[in-house]
């Protein structure tokens, strides 16, 4: 495995299988000039997709291409529409450059909110290179394969009343109501998740973010799916409101093993789907 990126915060590990695994929210790095304006370094990292890069580290052995940013979503959210348009109109969410946590806590001290020029700078510095990497790997793999799958990895705490009611299912598959991939891929991912001890929903609260919706072009051989995991499925998630010092809990192989086994089958199913004759 070699990192094909020339940017210190961006990792692009190339594989030859017809599968790209993207990780837009596993990073926790915040440039000092941005961190100095934040209310709390912990709050700024609270909503990371904790340990997802560890959870999916088997993807390299499957031949997948893995694209990951080390930059925190507080700096810029690489899974939001760069125009600022909401992906979920009428529902609470966070912005391209988030100003609050998922729980609604302010991220910036008074007078430090990012203005338009700052947002534009962050887009050109981080958002655009991340998506240029995805574009480049799609083009590279489409030159080799009739179909490829872009699998967007995410996780979130199981209960966040500001964003959704109740407790989130373990597996949340998003295809923007079937628009971003062929039905056969959706069925294959669902089948890999079903028949286990975990719960699953398709196109529930999370139907796929910017990455899934922007790149999913099934008629052109690019099939995109988002997987949002409830954290309790692979880490020791507190059953109460979290506080500094108790989140995130450590990554533990034995805790994550059952979900890793299912996710291995999920990615294998994605590869088989892409390799099937048209």
Instruction: Compute CA 182 distance to the chain's CA centroid, rounded to the nearest angstrom.
Output: 20
Nearest C-alpha neighbor of 14 from the set 161, 172, 143: 143
Task: Note if the bond before 251 is cis, omega within 30 degrees.
Answer: no
Furthest CA-CA distance within the chain: 57
131-159 tens-digit pLDDT: 999 999 999 999 999 999 999 999 999 99
What CA–CA distance (Å, rounded) separates 91 from 138? 31
Q: The tokens of 80 are what?
A: 């939001």
12: pLDDT strictly greater than 90: yes
* Domains, the chain, ordered by start: 10-275 (3.40.630.40)
Give the pLDDT of residue 144: 97
Nearest C-alpha neighbor of 205 from the set 229, 184, 181, 223: 229
User: What integer best gives the mean pLDDT of the chain?
Assistant: 96
pLDDT category, 1, cuts 50, 70, 90? low
Q: The tokens of 210 are what?
A: 């910017």
28-69 tens-digit pLDDT: 999 999 999 999 999 999 999 999 999 999 999 999 999 999
Give the pLDDT of residue 87: 85
Q: The tokens of 20 are what?
A: 């790209």
Using the Cα atoms of residue 57, residue 95, residue 209 and residue 240 in order, give the sign of their dihedral: positive
278: pLDDT strictly greater than 70: no
What CA–CA distance (Å, rounded) separates 125 from 23? 17
161-211 tens-digit pLDDT: 999 999 999 999 999 999 999 999 999 999 999 999 999 999 999 999 999
Q: What is the mean pLDDT of residues 19-25?
A: 98
Specify whether the CB–CB gap between 222 and 22 falls below 8 A. no
What CA–CA distance (Å, rounded) separates 149 from 215? 10
| pTM flag (> 0.85) | yes
213-258 tens-digit pLDDT: 999 999 999 999 999 999 999 999 998 889 999 999 999 999 999 9
Beta strands in the chain (DSSP E): 10-13, 19-23, 65-69, 148-156, 171-174, 200-202, 222-230
108: pLDDT strictly greater than 90: yes
Give the pLDDT of residue 33: 96
Specify whether the CB–CB gap between 98 and 74 falls below 8 A. yes
Strand partners, 225: 151
Give the pLDDT of residue 89: 82
């Amino acid at each position: 495995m070699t990192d094909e990126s020339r940017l210190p915060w961006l990792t692009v590990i190339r594989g030859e299988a017809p599968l790209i695994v993207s990780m837009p929210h596993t990073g926790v790095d915040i440039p000092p000039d941005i961190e100095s304006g934040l209310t709390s370094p912990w709050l700024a990292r609270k909503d990371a997709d904790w340990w997802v890069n560890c959870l999916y580290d088997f993807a390299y052995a499957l031949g997948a291409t893995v694209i990951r940013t080390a930059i925190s979503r507080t700096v810029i959210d690489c899974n939001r529409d760069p125009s600022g348009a909401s992906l979920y109109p009428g529902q609470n969410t966070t912005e391209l450059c988030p100003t609050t946590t998922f729980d609604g806590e302010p991220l910036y001290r008074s007078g430090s909110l990012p203005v338009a020029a700052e947002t534009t700078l962050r887009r050109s510095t981080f958002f655009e290179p991340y998506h240029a990497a995805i574009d480049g790997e799609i083009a590279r793999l489409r030159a080799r394969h009739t179909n490829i799958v872009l699998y967007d990895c995410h996780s979130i705490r199981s209960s966040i009343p500001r964003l959704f009611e109740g407790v989130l299912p373990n597996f949340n598959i998003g295809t923007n109501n079937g628009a971003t991939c062929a039905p056969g891929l959706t069925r294959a991912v669902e089948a890999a998740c079903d028949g286990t001890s975990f719960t699953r929903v398709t196109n529930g609260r999370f139907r796929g973010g910017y990455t899934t919706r922007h790149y999913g072009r099934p008629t052109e051989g690019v099939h995109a799916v988002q997987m949002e995991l409830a954290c309790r499925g692979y880490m020791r998630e507190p059953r109460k409101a979290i506080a500094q010092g108790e989140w995130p809990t450590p990554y533990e192989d034995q805790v994550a093993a059952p979900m890793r086994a299912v996710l291995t089958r999920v990615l294998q199913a994605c590869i088989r789907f892409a390799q099937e004759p048209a």
